[in-house]
Amino acid sequence: MTTTANSPARTDLEFKRIDASKPAGDQIFGSIKHAILNMDLQPGCIVSEAEIAAKFGASRTPVREAFMRLREAGLVVTYPSRGNFVSRLNKEKILEARYLREALEMANIRRLASGGLPSASHDRLLENLQAQEDAAAIGDAVVFGNLDDVFHLELAEATGFPRAAQVLEKEKMVLDRLRVLSLRDKNHLGFLKDEHARIFEAICAQDLSEAVRFGELHFSSILKVLSDLEIRHSDYFDD
């Protein structure tokens, strides 16, 4: 990939070839989305439809379909006569997503701390926290990030409201790239794991005030991370 002046080239980036038994557009969209959210394709990087088609061994039609969906998701922007670019991080959109996510997650925490945690959810969360501890101990940010997702989605699903997890999944996408940057700090992994454990323990004890307190502390930390990363990676953010 060629890039803007602020982003390193990623000509080494490879993708799996298209599985002919599945819709090509879905596969291309999923792979490019994953590469963007995991910062393999960095903010400001130009992405060529022709090059993507060649890398996937696909025609231009499913590639155009995938790019349309990426634009709708806010992950790619298109400038006439210039091409398609990975969108830069936008502070206002991040703050909005954080606001919406916090409102939903705190509602989940309050419901579970008041009404109790289903035993199956309890066991899955306990296993998840142990895996988080293991990942943090060796500094595996990729595994830890996946476990972080599962932890919060498990809390949402434990409420018994299916759409709680669906809405959470949608809103967290705006924050995913910010999180990938923050998880590069290995000390931050242990910090997040401890915050998750405190929320879990307070929910299990049905201690509503402590669950709310630890939840609010957890989500307020996003603001500090945003401020720090905006300074350290200013070239990733909108002017």
Q: What's the average model confidence in pLDDT over 208-237?
A: 89
For residue 57, the model assigns a pLDDT of 87
Residue 221: pLDDT band (50, 70, 90) is confident
Residue 222: pLDDT band (50, 70, 90) is confident
What single-letter amino acid sits at 161?
F
Among 235, 126, 118, 139, smallest CA distance to 187 is for: 139
Question: Strand pairing of 46-47 and 83-86?
Answer: antiparallel
Answer yes or no: is pLDDT of 2 > 60.
no
Which has more confidence, 10 or 13?
A: 13
Answer yes or no: is pLDDT of 10 > 70.
no
What single-letter amino acid sits at 130?
Q
For residue 12, the model assigns a pLDDT of 61
Query: Residue ranges of the domains in the chain?
Result: 24-86, 91-236
Task: Read off the pTM.
Answer: 0.80
Which CATH code of 2.60.40.10, 3.40.50.300, 3.40.50.1100, 1.20.120.530 fits the domain covering 91-236? 1.20.120.530
- CA–CA separation, 9 vs 177, rounded Å? 18
Q: What's the average model confidence in pLDDT over 66-92?
A: 92
Burial of 4 (0-12, 13-18, 19+ CB in 10 A): middle
Tokens of 228: 């720090």
Q: What's the average model confidence in pLDDT over 22-32?
A: 92
For residue 5, the model assigns a pLDDT of 44
For residue 1, the model assigns a pLDDT of 45
For residue 14, the model assigns a pLDDT of 77
pLDDT digits (tens, 9 = 90+) for 107-149: 999 999 999 999 999 999 999 999 999 999 999 998 999 999 9
* Domain covering 24-86 assigned CATH 1.10.10.10 in the classification: yes
What integer best gives the mean pLDDT of the chain?
89
How distant is the alpha carbon of residue 191 from its chain centre? 18
Strand order in the sheet with 46-47: 46-47, 83-86, 76-79
pLDDT digits (tens, 9 = 90+) for 146-193: 999 999 999 999 999 989 998 888 888 888 888 888 887 778 899 999
- CA–CA separation, 189 vs 59, rounded Å? 41
Answer yes or no: is pLDDT of 66 > 70.
yes
